[in-house]
Chains A and B, each alone.
Chain A
């Protein structure tokens, strides 16, 4: 087309256009650049054949290697699971009451429990296990336990839940509503008595009588609570639903009671074991009243 003359000083052909006397040399690409470019083309062809590449209607072409990012993730997860296998089997074999003696396994279980806690439990109990006083989610860091704070009791609570309809072994208890049972004076007196148990109010004889008649059966004569029916301890400093007079009155007249799912239906026993050790390690865990005598006993649980 245009005047592709050879530029004298450089000996290179021009592209043939001229703009106000400015011409452009048609300098060939450097050889190495050109070869790199060809190589990328070859690479692209090989890639298209081997790997998923062309987007089709619902998915991309598969590629002859059959590779997929989902498949790779599944494989990596499988390898990670396999690496955990020995540890999980060990954990499945050992009865939870003998776990503290094996500090190495215990440490790994606590670490695993911490991860599982963040996924499954933190929604209600908080990421630090601090619970919530307004909503009545128990704090798991302290040393007050409604249903028992040793490893076995915690494991049982997690497995079967609290007041969970789908599990017939669930932790079950019911505080009756006292709406209409007390007149105002009686109510004030019993609140006084309950507060006096932990030194927050003056003792009240009338209240003590009412307490003995109506409450002591579950909460104990001194308000020490009863773990067999999850009756809260009333003579300590910890109040699940608040320690104001109003809080107490509301709880007596129309008690609110929490529920927890039975995690045995959703998590495997090993994960529950890890969760129990983690909750136990938060600083309020209790020792067993009696430690299993026979070390040869093995519990049979599926990992």
Chain B
């Protein structure tokens, strides 16, 4: 349904014309395709194609990005150091929680089903906090994308950070762009083997550190670190490290931009959420085109635009695309091409910003001759403000829930078999299993009181029936649930009715919880 008019394709040698409809016979990669390519298809009414595309598979072309320096490159360095420091360093941060809880600041304790994050401790039944964080992450995606486009892809995504790291290793070992391309083409010999071996062992070391750091989040880091090298750690630790080492090694060392273009759903989702008001990295074609070399454009300044076709923007690109083809899935908006182009523009004395962060709308205005709009103005618009409001509202709600949650809880399950017991003096006994939850990391005294059942007294399986009282005090160990069998006895004239167990922590917090449950009496008396 969406076969575009062929007129704009005329003259392109890669396009064959069949019955007035243009089709390409070139292998098409989404990284280089024109926007219409993905939607062009064979219509039922068309005669069969006489020529099949030779290959649907595009072989990866190695990306040897050139070294560049500039404000965005420095920002990328900064983000890389911060994110790597957070990833590798966090498990080693200590956080004192007293003698009854681990002292690791961030710890996902799967064995004991606790999640610690600095001052916050989450139990499995409070998993909605994690769900809330995930919802915030989802809306955060909307917010960031509508405000600054694919900033996550460009700077903070682990795939980007590790790819960047590995590309620096490439440069460190093999030299810059041209040297690396030369080495790629060179035949295998002792020298190349030595170089590749050295480089790949650095890859492997980084990958091992990456996989190794992951498991430290799940156990006491210093202990596990020691155990890991002594062969004392659990098999699951070695398996996890093995898998993550392998994925880091292949995804970061070899697949790189292929992950972004072919594997990752995020760019597709983000692309769908971008609109003409989103900040993207874009080439201002009305200013640059038609391109021509510096020499040509100096001779004929009227005819040529600002772009001198120096290809620096392509050379520095970590995903190997040409930004001048327009917005595309391969562009992670890392803005290194802006650095490269600004430097060239400065050298040849033309204004910066031929490639720049801009919205498509601003580009259109600018092309018409209106003054350029500062980029930050794109941030403040209803869509981003609404997203921010929702995002912040959920965050505030979570914080509120976290601040006001109770660290004390009681659950009661009555025995159903037998539902009630007659005692020899005629009184009626019911049995209950009480679970007293102490979420503080210190032992606490808790009092359980029966309310709403006149004359009722209780004892436990460790207490004698003679010592039955209407209220009992238990010592609940730190950060644990204590299970208690409670036998509640009521006078013989008691009828089946609802009553309440009330739990009170006997400390300055005096947190309480009430649970209504049922007291069963013999049939005919209720």
Contacts and interface: CB of A to CB of B under 8 A. Distances in A.
B418 A128 contact: yes
Interface stretch (B87-95, B104-112, B344-352, B422-430): B422-430
B429 A283 contact: yes
Interface stretch (A85-93, A140-148, A162-170, A258-266): A140-148
Contacts of A287: 464
A103 interface: yes
Interface residues of B, number: 22
A259 B417 CA distance: 23
B465 A143 contact: yes
Contacts of A129: 418
B462 A237 contact: no
A174 interface: no
B51 interface: yes
A139 B424 contact: no
B487 interface: yes
B426 A139 contact: no
B492 A237 contact: yes
Contact of B461 (A139, A238, A283): A283
B384 interface: no
B417 A283 contact: no
B516 interface: no
A15 to B, nearest CB: 19
Interface in B455-506: 461-462, 464-465, 485, 487, 492
A255 interface: no
Contact of A237 (B417, B424, B431): B424
Interface string A119-143: 0000000111110000000010111
28 contacts: A9-B52, A110-B461, A126-B417, A126-B418, A128-B415, A128-B418, A129-B418, A130-B417, A139-B421, A141-B431, A142-B421, A142-B422, A142-B423, A143-B465, A198-B426, A236-B424, A237-B422, A237-B492, A238-B423, A238-B424, A281-B461, A281-B485, A283-B461, A283-B485, A283-B487, A284-B423, A284-B465, A287-B464
B157 to A, nearest CB: 29
B487 A144 contact: no
A102 interface: no
A233 B426 CA distance: 13
Nearest to A236: B424
Task: Give the one of B417, B421, B425, B431 with max A CB within 10 A.
Answer: B421
Given A9-B52, A127-B417, A237 B426 contact: yes
Contact of A139 (B418, B462, B465, B487): B418
Contact of B422 (A127, A233, A238, A281): A238
Contacts of A281: 461, 485
The size bracket of the interface on A is: 20 to 34
B465 A283 contact: yes
Given A126-B417, A283-B465, 11 more contacts: A9-B50, A129-B418, A130-B417, A139-B418, A141-B429, A143-B423, A236-B426, A237-B424, A237-B492, A238-B424, A284-B423
A302 interface: no
Nearest to B462: A103
Nearest to A237: B426
A141 B424 contact: no
A110 B461 CA distance: 10
A173 B426 CA distance: 27
Contacts of B417: 126-128, 130
Interface string A224-240: 00000000010011100
A287 B464 CA distance: 8
A238 B428 CA distance: 11
Nearest to A10: B52
Task: Give the one of B51, B423, B431 with max A CB within 10 A.
Answer: B423
A126 B421 CA distance: 14
A9 B25 CA distance: 12
Closest 10 CB pairs of A and B: A130-B418, A128-B417, A236-B424, A237-B426, A9-B52, A283-B487, A144-B424, A141-B421, A281-B461, A238-B424
Contacts of A238: 422-424
A274 to B, nearest CB: 15
A142 B424 CA distance: 7
Contacts of B415: 128
Contacts of B429: 141-142, 283
Nearest to B418: A130
A235 to B, nearest CB: 9
Contacts of A144: 424
Contacts of B425: 236-237
Nearest to A9: B52
Contacts of A284: 423, 465
Contact of A141 (B418, B426, B492): B418
Task: Give the one of A126, A127, A284 with max B CB within 10 A.
Answer: A284
Interface string A274-285: 000000010110
Nearest to B427: A237
Given A103-B462, A110-B461, A283-B461, A143 B418 contact: no
Contacts of B50: 9
Task: Give the one of B415, B416, B417, B424 with max A CB within 10 A.
Answer: B424
A256 B332 CA distance: 89
A10 B52 CA distance: 7
A128 B429 CA distance: 14
A9 B53 CA distance: 9
A20 to B, nearest CB: 16
B279 to A, nearest CB: 43
Nearest to B426: A237
Interface string B165-196: 00000000000000000000000000000000
B418 A9 contact: no
Interface in A192-247: 198, 233, 236-238
Contacts of A198: 426
Interface in A273-300: 281, 283-284, 287
Interface string B394-422: 00000000000000000000011110011
A11 B487 CA distance: 84
A284 B424 CA distance: 10
Interface in A81-114: 103, 110
Contacts of B492: 237
Contacts of A10: 52
Contacts of B416: 128
A103 B422 CA distance: 28
Contacts of B423: 142-143, 237-238, 284
Contacts of A9: 50-52
A10 B55 CA distance: 9
Contacts of B418: 126, 128-130, 139, 141
Nearest to B53: A9
A10 B429 CA distance: 84
B250 to A, nearest CB: 16
A144 B415 CA distance: 20
Task: Give the one of B415, B422, B426, B464 with max A CB within 10 A.
Answer: B422
Contacts of B52: 9-10
Contacts of A103: 462
A143 B424 contact: yes
B355 to A, nearest CB: 41
